[in-house]
Structure 1
Amino acid sequence: MTRRRKLLIALVTVLVLLVSTVVAAGVWYRPMLMTGTGYAAHNACAIHHLTDRTGDPADDLPPNPLVPVLRTELDDAEGSATSSVLGVAFHQTAWLTEHGCAVAGERPAWTTAGLPAAGADGPGGVPLPHAGDAPVGIDRALDVAAAVEGTRGLVVVHRGEVVGERYAAGFGPDTRQLGWSIAKSVTAALVGRARLEHPDAGLDPEATGLRPEWTDERADISLDDLLRMTSGLEWDEEYDLGTPITRMLFSEPDMASFAASQPLAHEPGTHRQYSSGTTNIVCDLVRERTGLGTDFADQLLFAPLGMRSAVLEADASGGPVCSSYLWATPRDFARFGQFVLDDGVIDGRRLLPEGWMDYSTDVIPAGGEPEPYGAQWWINDARDGTSPRFPKMPADAYWASGHDGQYVVVVPSADLVVVRTGFSPGGTLDSLGVDALVRDVAAAVG
């Protein structure tokens, strides 16, 4: 064999090994890369079409080594946003629908492009009149909270009136913002609304046998277990590329079915594992049993409350993403807070079953994650003789909490609702000073 032939064979061998390595790496990292491009595509589509912002959607991508190699293109004619790695691989597209943006290989068959404009302010719903000049203590507390990096919106409501608000540059009272897991607490209210309006839908918290494919031990999972995050279904809520939560949100066409397919890791009712998947199972159940369709949240809750900016996005199958994808203005999030503070009563009309908020904020002991948690609500006082989780806030405070620093805090003893929205990856209620804001505002109105 000639030297030249030997060299050629060696080069071919190296090339084959190189290609094989690249292909293998692509297969190995594909789930991670696809969730990354799905995240970027959905983020760009939603910010472009659901808000009036003019900034770069990439500013809302969390810190990640993948971000510098992502490339995103918007197509207004198609109503889509497509992201990829360096423009050549792992493409994911998010499509504008009448229910926000859905990640899918092609436009979902159930939708046409175009998001209806938010309805104009009108009579009805939860009124939020402005009280005029705020007490000095509230202004001072809002100024401190507004200076925290990442803060985009603040609204304080006392006795049903707005007593102060702040907005970052580029944001305002009419700018929709993503509430992330605030939607979970909204889901608890949706279950209550559905029980009141559709009493024959089989939505009693003790109901079991919730899905036809649950013919094994999962048949014992109750609606109460799902609401309290004690379903026992295996899950990982870490927002790392390729984990169940990111796979569900950014690459699965039917999020509720994906979550429901997880195996049982614990006996139902015995172990608390925070899971966005279980919330999507809950909403799928409400949608299916009421027969109201993808817009059931608008019919049951947003329209009666006057939350005219609210958009609950759907996935590619048409299922509402009740775990994570609720967009609304801070004022409309405050309307929701006032609604639950008033025990679900608007202008004398009861829209939640009597006692539903007591149920939603009751803490049932379980193993697993130790934080006081009710039915899709975070609770300050575990009512077990221990100190409140956040001692700066009144003990009876409870709150909806969303990724990247979104909060709706309700304080019945002070007749108070405090909303904070922003982009603060890794921030917590105390590190962002929300507990201090609530404390200071409560003192100012007390």
Structure 2
Amino acid sequence: MPRIRTILLAGAATVAVGITAAYWYERPLLVTGTGYAAHNACALEAIAGRDDAADDLPPNPLVPVMRTEVASDGSGASAGVFGVLAGQDAWATEGYGCTLASERPTGLPEPTAVTADANPYAASPLVTSDDAAVADALAYGFGDDLGVEERAALGTRGVVVLKDGALVAERYADGFGPETPQLGWSMTKSVTNLLVGRLVEQGEVSLDDDHLVDAWTDERSAITIRQLMQMTSGLEWDETYDLGTPITRMLYLEPDMGAYVASQGLAHSPGSYLQYSSGSTTLLCDVVTDGRGGADLPRRELFAPLGLESAVLEADASGTPVCGSYMWATPREWASVGQFVLQDGVWGGERLLPEGWMAESTVAVDTEVEPGSDGYASGWWSNTRADGSVIDEELPADTYFASGHDGQKVVVVPSEGVVIARLGFTPEADDNRIVAMAGELVAALR
């Protein structure tokens, strides 16, 4: 009996060691998943006033073993595997959304107060068009012709249409409205372009500034602000949204996202190759906000002047705005961003961007590009390639876009005076109908 007991104890110890080793081996992947869950649950509650992450954001592969809890007072959320392993906490801060950190962030600046006074669309009653062609285009964009499951997969949640500066039509899905902030994902990159433009207008930075990071004493010192904005810095990156990749590690594991991106080595000579990278834009924000207001800079320089009262650009634990991914705003506010750029950076009669900024910012990058980056410019997407060919024939050649994950888009058509903002949740539908709907709306409004 003593021998059997010794064997059993040894076996149990071996199993325990194996389980422990397996857990620590897989922990970076698990913490990525729990960080994703905690942040999403916190942001939906604190920013959008919604409480069902499964309905609002992409699926989490750890759902079967995940336990997520949102604080009853709205102060944050936590998530863990079985509620105890690989735990992550997200903390809500007024003006800055939710931040993943082991402790509540204390270094965020006092947020600039933002009101809707400067926004001509904020107080408008719901606008429904009496133009049958406009109504038909919106019906197509919302999938009225589809069955229940197909319409849910299309996932359109809000469309706002502006023509010659006037709000001419809008429509929202059940549970959403003009006042519901929605996550723009990579449309945040386009707003980052405007933030840089504000600083260029003020003489704070130049697009050709280099030696951006003190630790870059090698070839990386040649990287410029322009190259970070155009994603031609040459820094190593993998934008694949999967457990353990650089993009998910940056978003869900790194307290200082900018420093993490800056630590990457060079894969290409600066300026020679376009590598799509949310890390590039987040590092850009780290560079330009340092010493200029930090996480408050977007509020001070963009949200307040444009009257984007509901807009939030979330910050990481170091106080860097997560400019590659994490701006929330209502559909009307996203459309306001489109109108602002259509007016070449003039708002309320005041020039906020350098003259010609948008014409320069929407020229497609003329260099070797990775697949999937066709038409990428400086934080914006052009409908015309560097060689002059048109990408989407359904829209005029001068069209350009802010574009984000799961079907977020702001379509700007200068030649027609049209801006269309489409927000939704389209992770699986093969055709999100945005370009076709936009083409129909442009034609209807001529």
TM-score (norm 1): 0.92
- What displacement does 1:286 show? 1.5
Pair 66,320 (structure 1): closer, same or farther in 2 beyond 3 Å: same
Structure 1 partner of 2:77: 81
Structure 1 partner of 2:10: 13
Structure 2 partner of 1:358: 359
User: 1:22-37 counterparts in 2 under 5 A?
Assistant: 22-37=19-34
Structure 1 partner of 2:317: 316
- State the SS of the aligned residue for 1:211: coil
State the Cα RMSD in Å: 2.1
The superposition leaves residues 22-42 of structure 1 with CA deviations (integer Å, 9 ceiling, x where unpaired) of: 122212211111011001101
- What displacement does 1:125 show? 4.0
C-alpha distance in structure 2 between counterparts of 1:434 and 1:273, whole Å:
25
Alignment partner of 1:390 is 2:392: yes
- State the SS of the aligned residue for 1:277: helix
Matched-pair contact (CA < 8 Å) for 2:121–2:332: no
Q: Which amino acid aligns with 2:106?
A: A
Structure 2 partner of 1:152: 157
The superposition leaves residues 259-306 of structure 1 with CA deviations (integer Å, 9 ceiling, x where unpaired) of: 1111111111111111111111111111125x2232111111111111
Structure 2 partner of 1:216: 218
C-alpha distance in structure 2 between counterparts of 1:116 and 1:357, whole Å:
26
C-alpha distance in structure 2 between counterparts of 1:427 and 1:212, whole Å:
44
Percent identity, aligned pairs only? 49
The superposition leaves residues 352-402 of structure 1 with CA deviations (integer Å, 9 ceiling, x where unpaired) of: 00111111101232223251111011111104143x222222221111111
Residue from 236, 251, 255 that aligns with 1:253? 255
Pair 435,92 (structure 1): closer, same or farther in 2 beyond 3 Å: same
C-alpha distance in structure 1 between counterparts of 2:49 and 2:60, whole Å:
26
C-alpha distance in structure 1 between counterparts of 2:177 and 2:239, whole Å:
31
Matched-pair contact (CA < 8 Å) for 1:96–1:115: no
Matched-pair contact (CA < 8 Å) for 1:104–1:253: yes
C-alpha distance in structure 2 between counterparts of 1:440 and 1:302, whole Å:
31
C-alpha distance in structure 2 between counterparts of 1:33 and 1:263, whole Å:
26
Matched-pair contact (CA < 8 Å) for 1:38–1:83: yes
Q: Which amino acid aligns with 2:198?
A: R
- State the SS of the aligned residue for 1:294: helix
- What displacement does 1:57 show? 2.2
5+ residue gaps, structure 2, are 144-150
Structure 1 partner of 2:345: 344
5+ residue gaps, structure 1, are none
Pair 410,86 (structure 1): closer, same or farther in 2 beyond 3 Å: same
Alignment partner of 1:164 is 2:169: yes
C-alpha distance in structure 2 between counterparts of 1:427 and 1:191, whole Å:
34
Pair 29,50 (structure 1): closer, same or farther in 2 beyond 3 Å: same
C-alpha distance in structure 2 between counterparts of 1:62 and 1:146, whole Å:
19
Pair 69,59 (structure 1): closer, same or farther in 2 beyond 3 Å: farther
Alignment partner of 1:327 is 2:332: no
